[in-house]
Amino acid sequence: MEEYILDVRDICKSFPGVKALDHAQLKVRPGTVHSLMGENGAGKSTLMKCLFGIYKRDKGDVIYCGKKVNFPNAHAALQEGIAMVHQELQPIPERSVAENIFCGRYPMKWGGLVVDHAKMNAMTAELLKEVRLNVKPTTRLGDLSVSQMQSVEIAKAVSMNAKIIIMDEPTSSLTENEVEGLFTIIDSLKAKGVAIIYISHKMEEILKISDDVTIMRDGKYVGTWHADELTTDLIIQRMVGRELTNRFPHRENVPGEVILEVKNFTSPNPHSFQNVSFELKRGEILGIGGLVGAQRTELMEGLFGIRNATGEIIFKGKKLNISQPKDAIDNGIALLTEDRRATGIFGVLSIEDNVSVASLNKYVEAGVLLNDRKIRNLVNENINKLSIKTPSTKTKIQSLSGGNQQKVIISRWLANDPDVLILDEPTRGIDVGAKYEIYTIIAELAKQGKAIIMISSEMPELLGMSDRIMVMCEGKVSGFVDGASATQEVVMDLATKFMQ
């Protein structure tokens, strides 16, 4: 038997003006979890796309199951047993779980004229057992949670008898409990000899789940190590080429007087947030913790006017009526949404457009014309202030790394000079170096007196950046913890307080 199921040798790939891969390598053993790590822009996704047939490599070889391969497209890779679970899932929400799994290859009857739904549903039921997902094959996919949709994607890979499954940031939208469920599925796949290529920025996960770790930097291969030879500090040092002495910056903010008071805030949906009350001070970072389903995002969307809610909002000592996002924006409240790509960036527009879009009213002259010079000055000022890496202000935002996209959205709201900044999962899918830069921006804003609400599903982030933590469970506030004395155990205990 071959020692390696996959041997990727000296892959080179260039785009106009950029060498994305420079003799990249990867050797994967069957029945193991092989983590692929590196900062945004290190070439991880490009390497996987070259393997998967999405990009045509300029140079190098791929040896799969002992044979040289060069897949012309993703379908060819799938047919040969290489599957990929993408970070940005692309489900067909209106169709059933079974139809999503077997899309494009339905079992047929009556001479291939009619889909054999009974057979398809029976096959799906077996697959769902394998990935420990307790839903019916006929369930509409759009009714599932993100973690359940991800399990459906894994079931699809299993259904194709995949020998290698690539998982790109598979836990970016999952809670700790759901992560443990995913790890159980991964263990069962390993036991069957399936190799997992695991791409993640989460150090604790990497060290827990991996057998081998390959690190890339600037499109180049840095090295491969057994996971038990590594520590978080070693991984960071090899990823970024320098030591990061602290994962979180020193904070000098001093919380002041109460700027925002929320009383008995309640959604008309009985399964959403109910009777939520809290205070927020100037210069304070208030972390919001809880498991998926705790209704943290829904609560903040209610506060921002995206969702209907009853209750009182007292802002700067006056009662505030927020019925739409414009009301919140006009009063100095900003929201950085949870899903950067779906509801944050305008992907096909430039950085200039993305930064200025929420504050264009300030730059209208003579009632009809925009002052381009002032807008350009605003954008350049923010690019410098937040160290946004971009060739030009006219560059499309979708071509930037995740960390730089996030900085652009933060600068969009800073252009409005808000008093309250709500950050929903501000570092999701961002590498450790860019995370530190985002944390530094948050700490500096709090020092300037901005009031920050930060929702985070990453426990180290929640504990490392919060002055206070409000924990939610099933739509209710289960408790408050002082940031300095908070522990993972205390937060998790509160996060499950009302569960049966």
Greater model confidence, 202 or 425: 425
The residues with which 14 forms a beta bridge, in sequence order, are: 19
At residue 214, does pLDDT exceed 80? yes
At residue 238, does pLDDT exceed 60? yes
At residue 285, does pLDDT exceed 70? yes
At residue 404, does pLDDT exceed 60? yes
Banded model confidence at residue 168, pLDDT cuts 50, 70, 90: confident
Instruction: Report residue 377: phi and psi, to 5°.
Output: -65, -40
pLDDT of residue 225: 96
> Do 40 and 430 meet the contact criterion of CB atoms below 8 Å apart?
yes
pLDDT of residue 499: 65
Rounded-to-integer distance, Cα 241 and Cα 203, Å: 16
Banded model confidence at residue 77, pLDDT cuts 50, 70, 90: very high
Average pLDDT score over residue span 426-434: 77
Average pLDDT score over residue span 351-379: 85
Mean pLDDT of the chain: 89
What residue has token string 């996959």? 6
Instruction: Give the burial class of 354: count Cβ atoms within 10 A of its Cβ; 0-12 exposed, 13-18 middle, 19 or more buried.
Output: buried
pLDDT of residue 1: 47
When mean pLDDT is compared across 44-53, 80-89, 156-165, the lowest value belongs to 80-89
Greater model confidence, 403 or 285: 285
pLDDT of residue 38: 85
> Do 359 and 415 meet the contact criterion of CB atoms below 8 Å apart?
yes
pLDDT of residue 99: 94
pLDDT of residue 59: 94
Average pLDDT score over residue span 111-133: 91
Average pLDDT score over residue span 415-420: 89
pLDDT of residue 16: 67
pLDDT of residue 88: 64
Contacts of 446 (CB under 8 A, 6+ apart): 251, 253, 283, 284, 285, 452, 467
Closest C-alpha among 307, 313, 253 to residue 454: 253
Report for 29-33, 89-93, 182-186, 348-352: range of highest mean pLDDT: 29-33
Average pLDDT score over residue span 146-161: 84
pLDDT of residue 302: 96
